[in-house]
């Protein structure tokens, strides 16, 4: 049975009802075709498949489906206040948009920052776009995950709160429509992905420590 993210139900119900109304109020099926196609797209977009989480305590998994667009050594001065390796993943509208925790940890902070809606591909989008930061306290130090809204995506959802315990690969949120996710890992990790790689949330190993 197809598992769906609960955030998708309002969209699916809306377009389903619109399809039914269009069908019965119009003289043919053509008027109802567009809302029907949109209903199918919403079912596809908000799919939430199960994933096989790799075993091992020293690994970090991808927090999102998509394409690796940035791997960079940075100094994160706002929250971590330390050197880190930043990995950015772009999610197209065809990707699964459910986000998963990259490792085991306790949620230390959840911070929602309003901002712009630049294209998620742009480097400045990480800092200027509307975003939600989740800071995890882990056995390897603090790990920061940032859900970034894009030009189309206008809302990110973080389902967890301060004090929650997350397991590696556990679902914790979703970004609606195309968007970006940045993860800041400890500086001494060994990165296992490269630019352009396609990754899957909860399954693809992105780093080992």
In this structure, what CATH number is given to the domain that contains residue 193? Answer: 2.70.70
Domain that holds residue 24: 6-45
Q: What is the dihedral of CA 7, 184, 126, 202, to 10 degrees?
A: -30
Task: Indicate whether 51 belongs to any domain.
Answer: no
Q: Who has greater pLDDT, 172 or 8?
A: 172
* Whether residue 83 sits in one domain with residue 23: no
Question: What does the pLDDT read at residue 56?
Answer: 87
The confidence band for 186, taking pLDDT boundaries of 50, 70 and 90, is very high
Work out the percent of the chain whose per-residue pLDDT is above 70: 89
End-to-end CA distance of the chain: 36
Angle at 90 between CA 179 and CA 104, to 5 degrees: 95
Q: Establish if 133 belongs to a structural domain.
A: yes
Q: Which of 62, 101, 178, 179 is catalytic?
A: 179
d(CA 49, CA 1): 10
Average pLDDT for residues 130-159, to the nearest whole number? 86
Examine residue 54 and state whether it is found in any structural domain, yes or no: no
Task: Clarify whether 179 is annotated catalytic.
Answer: yes
- Percent of the residues in the chain that have a pLDDT greater than 90, as a whole number: 66
Average pLDDT over residues 164-189: 92
pLDDT digits (tens, 9 = 90+) for 6-30: 988 999 999 999 999 888 887 667 7
Residues 105 and 191 in one domain: yes
Considering only CA atoms, give the Rg of the chain.
Answer: 18
Tens digits of per-residue pLDDT, 37-94? 999 999 998 999 999 999 988 999 999 999 999 999 999 988 999 999 999 999 988 8
- Considering its fold, how many domains does the chain have in total? 2
């Amino acid at each position: 049975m197809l598992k769906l993210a609960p955030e998708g139900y309002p969209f699916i119900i809306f377009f389903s009802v619109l399809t039914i109304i269009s069908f019965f109020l119009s003289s043919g099926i053509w008027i109802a075709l567009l809302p029907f196609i949109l209903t199918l797209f919403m079912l596809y977009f908000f799919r939430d498949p199960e994933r096989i989480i790799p075993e091992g305590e020293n690994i970090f998994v991808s927090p999102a489906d998509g394409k690796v667009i940035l791997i960079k050594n940075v100094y994160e001065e706002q929250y971590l206040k330390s050197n880190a390796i930043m990995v950015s993943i772009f999610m197209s509208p065809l990707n699964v948009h459910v986000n998963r925790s990259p490792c085991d940890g306790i949620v230390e902070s959840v911070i929602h920052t309003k901002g712009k809606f630049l294209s998620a591909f742009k480097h400045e989008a990480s800092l200027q776009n509307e975003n939600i930061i989740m800071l995890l306290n882990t056995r390897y130090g603090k790990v920061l995950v940032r859900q970034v809204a894009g030009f189309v995506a206008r809302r990110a959802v973080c389902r967890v709160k301060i004090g929650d315990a997350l397991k590696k690969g556990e679902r914790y949120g979703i970004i609606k429509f195309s968007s970006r996710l940045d993860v800041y890992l400890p500086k001494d990790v060994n990165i296992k992905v490269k630019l352009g790689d396609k990754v899957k949330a909860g399954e693809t190993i992105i780093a080992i420590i």
